[in-house]
Structure 1
């Protein structure tokens, strides 16, 4: 077949309705001419945006049966007009603007996610704070290790019987205080209880332990009846006590260690010595006085402690362990009335010892003296002591005080 004439092709593309009705009317023809003129003017005005107009015109005027190229031409400009001749000119003016679409052969640019420098600085700050806290904790552990509290705990548990709660609280106070060197006040611990329950023995163990870790010069063990036996010696005793404590705390400040002062038989200490000791503990003149440990040992209030323990002896074992905590408020009010020295002290009341605890004291002492701790023999020795009998429980009236004398008679 030969090539078809363009005019014949245009006539062949006209809708069937037009062919059937004949030639279009004059008004329809003039409308098509005006439309072509407007499109021509628009093309001349938007010549620089030919690519976008081609995309829009391909979406607006293209059809499924169209075979025209994507480049804009005037060959088929009147097709949309003749395809729907009933459409009025006014409605053509209100044609909606088509959305600008991306070409199918290209990808839309995805916005890149920018990294914030502030977030990196925040992470760095977290790392620095973590290292500082970790370093502080390590320093605390290093400071405690110098005093070997684990060794002290083993010694106390091996040689002190029937005072589990008191020893745990004592070690807890020492660990908290020795974790750092700088303090706002000294640590004051006050031991109270009847004779023979282990108060002085714990004091001797503490003195022996701290002499081995901080040195003999930073530990002072003061026995009132030995260092100040008469009332005439009180003025000299006060001056000597003041100078000794001042010298020790100054030396401890130079070596960056915490000194320990142990005062036994505090119930025999005259009021002048109590006032001097209180001024040393509450001294605000120098910081070295704030870094020290004071241990006060006395039997003040021992009668009331004995009555309290015997009255509550029917409580279960788990309840007995809290008797020292129940005694603490009463001891605080009682001892503050005795002297203001006990105003800020931590009270550790020692309980009565049961018969089983006394037997443990006999076994330990006999082992030290080289005797074989025969169980029947130990029971016979324990029977020779006096006890408070409350139901099925037996509490020693003298604790372990007479144990050493009994073993020496063997």
Structure 2
């Protein structure tokens, strides 16, 4: 609908301008000036409509939308859903936050970390992940060479400063933190701290999201303990995971968070654990993917997809090794 409206307005604008151009020779100088003025005004209107800007028309938080999305689309993550909703809602309602919002999402692959980032972006920015104010860094793509880390640090600082200067409500997503060279992320520590301004730029309304598999083992250990004692996974609370998770992340010398000042100085607002997914969650993911493709949800097909995945422990087959990550390709095979 949005693209259709864009196209309609653009068509109308071009139609008016072209009509004016054809008729301009029949107008007197005053009329010609009026027509040109109208065309210029309409041109600015169309440009402003089509071109994303850092204002309330393009950047506006939808708290209800995020709540509904987390409840209906994020599978098996009651802890993450609750933390994300409260953290983002509280931050976006605050017109004068003391520091940027910093979230660190942890868990095994396929549990929903990237998906949550997408939901947050879609409920803040009109263009969602396609917004020019949402910036994604992937360690293996953007910071691949250890010999280049001094250059990466400088470029990263300049990139963040430039984009926050352009829009104070910018979002930065760092994927594959477990593959980032230790020490690199410390280069942006000043931007996450409690400063009103740095070199005339305020970073306090920006959002930083870190995605990592680091800490996943400690999360799984807790989930297995609950399962072995017959306790429901919904009984797991943040307090059961938070301390062990932050320690695991801080002390992992293979992670971009190793001994980082971001953790040492308590600049990460929330360590958000993503639990391993069970068979029932994989079925739900598959049904949701079918619906997203415009297919009629078929539980028999969803069960076939789920049974085709690898689970652990091997004998009990409780948790999916890759979460919901491979269901897209598996579904292609069964439909």
- The TM-score, its normalising length taken from structure 2, stands at 0.70
1:200 Cα deviation after fit: 1.4
The normalised TM-score by structure 1 is 0.58
2:193 paired with 1:269? no
Partner of 1:384: 308
**Secondary structure at 1:277 match in 2:** helix
Whether the 8 Å contact between 1:183 and 1:291 is mirrored in structure 2 is: yes
By relative contact order (CA 8 Å, sep 6+), the higher-ranking structure is 2
Q: Where does residue 176 of structure 1 map in the other structure?
A: 90
What does 1:300-339 correspond to in 2, within 5 Å?
300-313=214-227, 314-317=229-232, 320-337=234-251, 338=258, 339=260
RMSD between aligned residues: 2.6
Query: Tell me, which stretches of 5 or more residues in structure 2 are unaligned?
Result: 1-55, 252-257
Question: What displacement does 1:398 show?
Answer: 1.5
Look up the match of 2:153.
238
Structure 1 pair 166–305 and aligned structure 2 pair: CA distance change class (3 A)? same
Is 1:228 aligned with 2:149?
no
4+ long deviations beyond 6 Å: 390-393
Q: Is the contact between residue 170 and residue 207 of structure 2 (CA under 8 Å) also seen in structure 1?
A: yes
Runs (5+) with no aligned partner, structure 1? 1-141
Give the structure with higher Rg (CA).
1
SS at match of 1:188: strand
Q: 2:327 & 2:138 partners in 1: Cα distance?
A: 22
The secondary structure found in structure 1 opposite 2:318 is strand
Secondary structure of the residue aligned to 1:344 is: coil
Moved more, 262-271 or 320-329: 320-329
Are the aligned partners of 2:193 and 2:267 in contact in 1 as well (CA < 8 Å)?
no
- The change in CA–CA distance for 1:159 and 1:324 in structure 2 (over 3 A counts) is same
Match of 2:278 in 1: 354
SS at match of 2:309: coil
Distance 1:230 1:394, change over 3 A: same
Residue in 2 aligned with 1:42? none
Q: Alpha-carbon deviation of 1:351? A: 0.6
Q: Secondary structure at the match of 1:309?
A: helix
Residue by residue over 1:62-119, the C-alpha shift from the partner in whole angstroms, topping out at 9 and shown as x without a partner, is xxxxxxxxxxxxxxxxxxxxxxxxxxxxxxxxxxxxxxxxxxxxxxxxxxxxxxxxxx
